[in-house]
Each structure stands twice: as structure tokens, then as C-alpha cells.
């Protein structure tokens, strides 16, 4: 069980535990959830970063995690166009406002960012990806399963743990399978690293998904997937150096693009890039076509003037 206080002689799991000894007053943003009866008590603050503050809360005899999103103005690089490209809203007034950057547009953009994490959690949990089970989303607060270690304490991030080569190989293989399942569900995490994976009692759990991108609709999905896979390789390669020789990302993406990726795929970690001889004639033809099209466009513009 999560205890209400962490004694000073207990081992902190990561720098976030420094905040545990602070006496807990109900934060303003969690007040409405207490009034609605969704939370009984706020136990402690886990961390407060630029994008969100994360709390441990009690709720009907259960201990959950509450992620409270901060204001859009504090948002970091992750709301950049790479991630939000092709995110659709069904409401054209919202779309125009978001494009213009009006106050209303910024609020809508923020709501879209927060609900992207909630949507991704529901979608991935249904696809069998090991993410915290989502429970509720109200007033900019996401309530979800609290990931704990084998002793019932809050789980550390991978970055806070050392692994034997065997453990590193096993976790790396398990996480590649999660990446494949995510892609089969049409999602690329986009910020996967040792900082956004917790080591739960039953193995690694992937967190932090507001930037998750649509694999089919986002032009940066390929690049982001390759980066996610390289991050996993480089992290676990510190403990099992032979992993540094693997090249799973292009293999996964190639299978996905050819419609041949499935959750039970057997990966090799090798990928033969095909370097076909360059067909100079067809490249020159493409350039000539583009030049002719541009000349025709300019002519049309001149005659319309
Ligand atoms: N479901 C959870 N169970 C346990 N701890 C969690 C959970 N979700 C988040 N945390 C803790 O809160 C931290 C921040 O969560 P998250 O990464 O989702 O937010 P963030 O705003 O992106 O923060 P950061 O900028 O540090 O990545 C995590 O590193 C983890 O320690
Ligand atoms: Mg994070």
C-alpha cells in the first residue's frame, strides 16, 4: 500500500521523492474533484514540472494518480507542429480560432492537447499496451492507475534504475513489443525514453502521451517512431552493449507501411536498406515537368491580370 508519509530514512526513488515530506493541503485545481466526489483525499505531490503537476490521491478505497495539466502558456517544445500536425477538430470555428491563435483558440488548443493524452490512454489500453489504466478526466485533471513497484511504493522511472544485461534485454524486447502494438493501433508515442517509462512491479509501463501522433496521418510519424526505438536501444544498450548493434526501427516501420505488422511479428533487429541505382533520366523528366507546370501557372496569372 502507498503510505501517507515517507519516513526520512527511506530510500528515495528518483528526485521526485524530495517533495514527499511537504505537508499536503488540497491543491486548488483538485478541489472541484473533491467536491464532485471523484477524489476523497490528496495524499502527496509526486512532481511538478513545466507541463503538469502529478499527485497521489485516495478515491473510494483505491490509490490513484492525478495529473493536473498546466496552462498552455507554459507549454514546451512538445506542442510543436511536428506533433500536432493533422490533429483534427470536427468544429470549424475551433479550427479557425486555433489557427489564428486567439485566446479562445489557445484554450481549445490546450483542451485538444490534454484530451489527446486521455484518448491515447484509452486507445492503447484497449490495444493491450501497458499504460496506466485511465479512470476519468475532469476540469483538466486526468485520473489514472498509479503505477507502483513490487513493494507498493510509487514506481521509479527507468532512468532511476540499474539493470543486469539479462534484465535490459528482457525489458528492451518487451518495450519493442509495446511499440509494435501501439503502431498496430495507429499510434506513435513520439517522446518515448527512459524518462517516460516507469518500472512497475509487473514490468515497464509507458506514460506521458499528450504528444502521441497518428501513425497514418502525420508526416513526421516515421521519424518520431525511429527516434523512439533508438532511445530504447541507446538506454538499454548501456547495460547490454550488443543491443547497440540492432536496427529495429526501420524494420518495424517497413513492415507497418507494407501492411505486414502484427502484434505477434518476429523481428530480426536487422534491416537491409535497398539502394537502387539512381535513374537520372526520370529525375530530369520530373524537374522539367515541374518547370513547365510553374511556367504555365505564371502564364495563367499574367493573362488573368
Ligand atoms: N500513472 C502514474 N503512476 C505513477 N507515477 C506517475 C504516473 N504518471 C506520472 N507519474 C510520475 O510523474 C512524472 C511526470 O509525469 P509525466 O511524464 O506524465 O508528466 P510531464 O508533464 O511530461 O513531466 P515531465 O516533463 O517530467 O516528463 C513521471 O516521471 C512519474 O514519475
Ligand atoms: Mg514525462
Q: What is the DSSP string of 52-71?
A: EEEEEEEETTEEEEEEEE--
CA distance 56 to 58: 7
Ligand 1: residue whose CA is nearest its atom 26 = 49
Q: Is 61 exposed, middle or buried (0-12, 13-18, 19+ CB in 10 A)?
A: exposed
Length of the chain, in residues: 305
Confidence at residue 22, expressed as pLDDT on a 0 to 100 scale: 53
C-alpha cell of residue 61: 478505497
Cα-Cα-Cα-Cα dihedral sign, residues 122, 123, 127, 129: negative
Closest residue by Cα to residue 101 from 72, 69, 139: 72
Q: Is 238 helix (H, G, I), strand (E, B) or coil?
A: coil
Distance (Å) from CA 67 to ligand 1 centroid: 8
Q: Per-residue confidence of the chain (305 residues) as pLDDT tens digits?
A: 454 433 333 333 344 444 455 557 889 999 999 999 999 999 999 998 778 999 999 999 999 999 999 876 545 555 555 667 667 655 666 666 666 667 667 777 777 778 889 999 999 999 999 999 999 999 889 999 999 999 999 999 999 999 999 999 999 999 999 999 999 999 999 999 999 999 999 999 999 999 999 999 999 999 999 999 999 999 999 999 999 999 999 999 999 999 999 999 999 998 877 777 788 888 888 888 888 878 877 877 777 66
3-state helix, strand, coil in the chain (%, to 5): 45, 15, 40
* C-alpha to C-alpha distance for 92 and 291, rounded to whole angstroms: 36
Ligand 1 neighbourhood includes 109 CB (under 6 angstroms):
no
Distance CA 51, CA 74 (A): 7
Q: Is 192 in the pocket of ligand 1 (CB under 6 A)?
A: no
| Ligand 1 closest atom vs CA 78 | 22
CA of 169 to the centre of ligand 1 (A): 24
Residue 58 pairs with which residues in a beta bridge? Answer: 41, 63
CA–CA gap between residue 110 and residue 139 (Å, rounded): 12
- CB of residue 131 inside a 6 A radius of ligand 1: no
Cα–Cα–Cα angle for 233, 182, 241, rounded to 5 degrees: 10
Q: How close are the terminal C-alpha atoms of the chain, in Å?
A: 76
Cα–Cα distance measured from residue 16 to residue 184, given in angstroms and rounded to the nearest whole number: 33
Model pLDDT, residue 3: 46
Is residue 244 within 8 A of residue 168, CB to CB? The reply is no
Grid cell locating 232: 530504447
Question: Ligand 1 mean position to 132 CA, how many Å?
Answer: 11
C-alpha distance from residue 21 to each of 24, 149, 287 (Å): 9, 20, 66
Residues 50, 70: Cα–Cα separation, whole Å: 7
Q: Decide: 219 and 85 in contact? Cβ < 8 Å.
A: yes
pLDDT at 301 (0 to 100): 74
pLDDT number for residue 18:
40
Return the C-alpha torsion angle 190, 192, 195, 200, nearest 10. 130
Amino acid at each position: 500500500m502507498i503510505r501517507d508519509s515517507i519516513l526520512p530514512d527511506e530510500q528515495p526513488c528518483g528526485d521526485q521523492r524530495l517533495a514527499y515530506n511537504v505537508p499536503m493541503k488540497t491543491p486548488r485545481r483538485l478541489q472541484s474533484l473533491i467536491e464532485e466526489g471523484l477524489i476523497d483525499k490528496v495524499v502527496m505531490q509526486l512532481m511538478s514540472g513545466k507541463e503538469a503537476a502529478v499527485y497521489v490521491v485516495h478515491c473510494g478505497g483505491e490509490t490513484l494518480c492525478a495529473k493536473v495539466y498546466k496552462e498552455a502558456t507554459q507549454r514546451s517544445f512538445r506542442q510543436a507542429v511536428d506533433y500536432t500536425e493533422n490533429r483534427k477538430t470536427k468544429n470549424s470555428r475551433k479550427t479557425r480560432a486555433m489557427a489564428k491563435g486567439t485566446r479562445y483558440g489557445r484554450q481549445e488548443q490546450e483542451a485538444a492537447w490534454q484530451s489527446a493524452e486521455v484518448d491515447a490512454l484509452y486507445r492503447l489500453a484497449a490495444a493491450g499496451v501497458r499504460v496506466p489504466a485511465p479512470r476519468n478526466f475532469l476540469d483538466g485533471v486526468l485520473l489514472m492507475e498509479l503505477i507502483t513497484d513490487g513493494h507498493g511504493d510509487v514506481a521509479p522511472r527507468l532512468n532511476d534504475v540499474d539493470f543486469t544485461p539479462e534484465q535490459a534485454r528482457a525489458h528492451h524486447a518487451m518495450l519493442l513489443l509495446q511499440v509494435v502494438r501501439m503502431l498496430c493501433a495507429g499510434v506513435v508515442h513520439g517522446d518515448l525514453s527512459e524518462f517516460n517509462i516507469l518500472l512497475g512491479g509487473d514490468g515497464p509501463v509507458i506514460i506521458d502521451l499528450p504528444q502521441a501522433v497518428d501513425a497514418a496521418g502525420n508526416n513526421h510519424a516515421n521519424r518520431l517512431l525511429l527516434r523512439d526505438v533508438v532511445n530504447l536501444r541507446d538506454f538499454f544498450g548501456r547495460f547490454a552493449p550488443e543491443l547497440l548493434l540492432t536496427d529495429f526501427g526501420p524494420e518495424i516501420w517497413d513492415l507497418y507501411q507494407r501492411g505486414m505488422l502484427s502484434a505477434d511479428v518476429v523481428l530480426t533487429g536487422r534491416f537491409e536498406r535497398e539502394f537502387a541505382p539512381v535513374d537520372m533520366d526520370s529525375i530530369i523528366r520530373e524537374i522539367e515537368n515541374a518547370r513547365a507546370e510553374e511556367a504555365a501557372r505564371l502564364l495563367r496569372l499574367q493573362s488573368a491580370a
